């Protein structure tokens, strides 16, 4: 007995047994058990089976035979169908070779006309369609022909089927993938939350991670992030960050877009633990100077500075609360340095022996969360801790233990490397002979949030170094400049598929202008969503103030 018949017999028998168990002592009035068994069989046989891509070696063997014009059997033709986008030893792909692809096109057309194109042949053609790595697939006439063959082939297979199967329903739902606007509707569905699980489609279509389709989808997703108002963006932030998991090649782009959009929001002064932790995991700390450039590959300097300020504020709060040592937390020092947190380009907590070894849950969590950003303090009492803060070209070293002054050093001539895993108290951090200033915390203010006493004197000392707290007006002015500079990075992400010229005359009272190399509907849509307007009499030029 064949496997299929055995499965059919077993399913029917199982269904009848379940029915008997439910109807003991009751007259059999119908065939519900048999109907349920039939429906179960239909579900199992109709379900979408995962399509496997033939190994590249086998595809290459079939392609070599095809190019030598040798006769191919049905299996070899299927390997050729799957290898149309392959490039071996820098040879051009079949999709880019007019005579070779014409032979394939005729073969596929013949199979469609004779109604013998099967599902496996069709899936092989799909793989080549999605795997093509041309910068602009639509510019390749053969790729367009292949797209048409796939669409016609699916219609033929579906029409010849006794009933519509699950894989057909999935493909029909995503039929726009085989049209001129491929990926646009799917991207909109993903962004709107209407398409959350693409595993079924991916199992059938086998879209490579590097496919042009993903590039097109993420171009739309990235542009849509910037169309949300503050409330919608902040509410949807977790799901927006999660978009990167659809295809991990685009995690950096999604994080970059979310951070840039957050920087433009009213909440930019408030730390986003979600964005900070996600970016920290992928790019490392923006404060570790050896890794600073990694951040600047993905975001503009103002966005990076925003995140650095988040770290600085969090470090200060941890230092003056969790690491307070034997004394109570000095609220006046916390208040004072938080006024400069937005100007801090670097902070480093140096933990004493007590905090380094403390097994209390809050200390363990703090150390785990800040791996790579902590140093150990040696040569002093175990309860003492230090924090190194860089503002401009100066290091300010504060200590948690009472009676310790704040030491100031030039960052380019400091007697220590703050990134070291271990820093000595007397021989590195407290070198009065090498310090520019040694500032004591007296007299104390009447209230911790008043700039008087030592806080007022510190302000005078910092002004002498060219450092003052940022005023609200200065912050607003800086924010405007940050938004303008961030837009150029956003353009680079959204227009990566097309060449363009950027002319920025905003500093002279003019406009930011983008001139495209050619007409491109996707680029035009992205530019309009960013607020660009078309230039009169020039369909390739767009501007915004």
pLDDT tens-digit readout, 121-162: 999 999 999 999 876 788 899 999 999 999 999 999 999 999
Check residue 478 and give its pLDDT: 39
The model's confidence at residue 28, banded by pLDDT at 50, 70 and 90, is very low
Q: Which residues contact 36 (CB under 8 A, 6 or more apart)?
A: 15, 18, 19
* Burial class (CB within 10 angstroms; exposed 0-12, middle 13-18, buried 19+) of 49: middle
* CA dist 240 → 30, 102, 262 (Å): 52, 43, 12
- Name 374's bridge partners: 349
Give 332-349 pLDDT, tens digit per residue. 888 899 899 989 989 999
**DSSP per-residue codes, 86-139:** --STTPPPGGG-HHHHHHHHHHHHHHHHTT---HHHHHHHHHHHHH---SSGGG
Check residue 523 and give its pLDDT: 80
Pairing of strands 512-516, 500-504: antiparallel
| CA of residue 491 relative to chain centroid, distance | 16
3-state SS, residue 198: coil
| CA of residue 307 relative to chain centroid, distance | 16
E-only strand ranges, 122-264: none
Closest to 349 in 3D by CA, of 369, 319, 326: 319
Neighbours of 316 (CB within 10 A): 24
Alpha-helical segments (H) within 322-360: 331-338, 353-357
Q: Which residues contact 205 (CB under 8 A, 6 or more apart)?
A: 51, 123, 126, 127, 130, 171, 174, 177
E-only strand ranges, 392-465: 394-399, 406-410, 422-424, 437-439
Check residue 12 and give its pLDDT: 56
The rounded distance, in Å, linking the Cα atoms of 144 and 526 is 24
- Please state, rounded to an integer, the average pLDDT across all residues of the chain: 83
* Burial class (CB within 10 angstroms; exposed 0-12, middle 13-18, buried 19+) of 542: buried
Residue 74: is its pLDDT beyond 90?
yes
Residues in the chain, how many?
Answer: 545
Lowest mean pLDDT among 39-53, 213-227, 250-264: 39-53
Closest to 408 in 3D by CA, of 378, 439, 377: 439
Respond yes or no on whether the N-terminal peptide bond of residue 391 is cis (omega within 30° of 0).
no
Give 503-543 pLDDT, tens digit per residue. 877 666 667 888 888 887 778 877 876 778 888 777 888 88
Q: Which helix (H) or strand (E) holds 377?
A: strand 374-378
């Amino acid at each position: 007995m064949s496997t299929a018949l055995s499965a059919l017999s077993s399913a029917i028998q199982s269904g009848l047994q379940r029915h008997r168990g439910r109807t003991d002592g009751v007259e059999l009035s119908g065939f519900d058990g048999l109907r349920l068994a039939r429906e179960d069989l239909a579900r199992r046989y109709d379900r979408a089976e995962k399509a496997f891509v033939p190994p590249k070696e086998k595809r290459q063997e079939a392609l070599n035979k095809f190019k030598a014009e040798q006769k191919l059997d049905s299996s070899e033709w299927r390997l050729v169908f799957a290898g149309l986008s392959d490039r071996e030893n820098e040879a051009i792909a079949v999709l880019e070779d007019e005579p070779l692809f014409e032979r394939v096109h005729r073969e596929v057309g013949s199979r469609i006309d004779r109604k013998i194109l099967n599902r496996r042949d069709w899936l092989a053609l799909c793989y080549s369609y999605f795997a093509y790595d041309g910068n602009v697939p639509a510019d390749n006439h053969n790729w367009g022909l292949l797209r048409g063959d796939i669409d016609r082939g699916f219609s033929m297979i579906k029409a010849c089927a006794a009933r519509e199967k699950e894989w057909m329903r999935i493909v029909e739902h995503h039929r726009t993938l085989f049209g001129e606007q491929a990926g646009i509707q799917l991207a909109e569905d993903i962004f709107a939350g209407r398409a959350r699980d693409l595993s079924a489609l991916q199992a059938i279509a086998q879209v490579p991670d590097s496919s042009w389709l993903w590039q097109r989808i993420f171009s739309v997703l990235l542009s849509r992030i910037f169309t949300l108002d503050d409330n919608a963006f902040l509410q949807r932030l977790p799901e927006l960050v999660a978009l990167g998991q659809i295809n991990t090649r685009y995690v950096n782009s999604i994080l970059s877009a979310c951070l840039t959009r957050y920087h433009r929001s009213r909440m930019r002064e408030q730390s986003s633990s979600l964005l900070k932790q996600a970016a920290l995991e992928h790019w490392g700390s923006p404060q570790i100077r050896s890794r600073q450039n990694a951040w600047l590959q993905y975001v503009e300097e103002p966005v990076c500075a925003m995140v650095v300020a988040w770290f600085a504020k969090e470090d200060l709060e941890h230092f003056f609360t969790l690491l307070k040592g034997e004394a109570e937390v000095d609220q006046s020092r916390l208040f004072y340095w938080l006024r400069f947190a937005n100007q801090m380009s670097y902070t480093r907590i140096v933990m004493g022996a007590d905090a380094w070894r403390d097994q209390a849950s809050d200390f363990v969590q703090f150390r785990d969360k800040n791996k790579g950003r902590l140093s150990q303090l040696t040569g002093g009492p175990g309860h003492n801790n230090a924090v190194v803060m860089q503002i401009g070209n100066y290091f300010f070293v504060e200590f948690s233990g009472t009676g310790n002054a704040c030491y100031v050093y030039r960052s380019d001539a400091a007697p220590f490397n703050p990134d070291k895993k271990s820093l000595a108290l007397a021989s590195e951090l407290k070198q009065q002979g090498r310090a520019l200033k040694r500032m004591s915390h007296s007299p104390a203010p009447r209230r911790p949030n008043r700039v008087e006493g030592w806080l007022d004197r510190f302000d005078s000392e910092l002004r002498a170094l060219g450092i003052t707290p940022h005023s609200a007006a200065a912050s607003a002015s800086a924010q405007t400049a940050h938004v303008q500079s961030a837009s150029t990075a956003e353009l680079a992400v959204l227009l990566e598929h097309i060449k363009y010229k950027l002319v920025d005359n905003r500093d002279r009272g003019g406009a930011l202008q983008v001139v495209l190399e050619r007409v491109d509907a996707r680029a035009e849509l992205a530019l309009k969503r960013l607020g660009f307007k078309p230039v009169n009499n020039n369909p390739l030029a767009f501007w915004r103030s």
